[in-house]
Each structure stands twice: as C-alpha cells, then as structure tokens.
Amino acid sequence: MKVVFDEIFCVITEKQPNDLRFALALFQAIKDEFGLNSSRKSLDFLLTSCVNAKDLQNSLLIWSEYQVASLRFNVLTFLRMYQALLASGDPKSAKSLLTKIPMDDSHVRCIIKACQETYVQPSSLTKTKKAECEE
C-alpha cells in the first residue's frame, strides 16, 4: 500500500503547479485512516512539493514527519530541506542547516551552489540589474 501512496505523491509533485493542499490532506488521511507511517519516498516528494510552493510552514511540518516516522536524515534530505528554506525565504535557517551537510562530495557542493544561485539574490546584483534597466 505504501508503494501506491509513494506513486500518488510522485504524480502530485510532478504536476505543475502541484496541489500541495491536496497532497497534505491526503498525507493526513493516510496517517489517520490507515495508521501508516510515511515512507521516505513519500516524504521526499512532499518536501519537493513544499519547495515548489515555497511553503516554509509545511516544509517544517514535513521535516518533523521524518522524525515521527523514525527516518534518519540523509544528505539528499538535508539538501532538499536546504532548498526549501532558501526557496521560502529563510536564509538564516538555511545557513544553519548547511553546517550539517557533508561537503566532501563535489556533487553536493554543486547542488548547494545551484540552490544559492536560484534562490539567493545578492543585493549588489539586484542593484546592478536595476541600474541597467533604468538606462
């Protein structure tokens, strides 16, 4: 049954725009009606939906669900939560979480850099672009 739910969350996440409210309602119904703990895959898809929606509150809710389901955080989970924090405008928490991510893998460093380039706008870059637009 968990595999079916994993696939449902996958489909919801892939839809653009995804329906985070529906996904969260389904998630809660699965917990309440079936008494199932969430799988890592389902939580990963839900966290991705939160990133896409730039929804900090629900990102934190899903983050806590990993602990409720007794799932250890792995590098991919940390990276996705880092992305969620940046996407939802919480760079301070993102910076704090960054200290927990091992940096020995070049792919991990590339993902972090891509997240920063995507979600963090340096003020000097913004000012330069504004000045170019005004000319």
Task: Say if residues 49 and 12 touch (Cβ distance below 8 Å).
Answer: yes
Averaged pLDDT of the chain: 85
Residue with tokens 């696939």: 7
Which amino acid would we find at residue 98? Answer: L
Q: What percent of the chain has pLDDT over 90?
A: 56
Rg value, the chain, Cα = 17
31 — pLDDT class (breaks 50, 70, 90): confident
Instruction: Give yes or no for residue 124 having a pLDDT over 80.
Output: no
Provide the whole-model pTM.
0.80
Task: Say if residues 77 and 66 touch (Cβ distance below 8 Å).
Answer: yes
pLDDT at position 131, please? 42
Q: Report cis status (omega within 30 of 0) of the bond before 122.
A: no
Instruction: Give yes or no for residue 130 having a pLDDT over 90.
Output: no
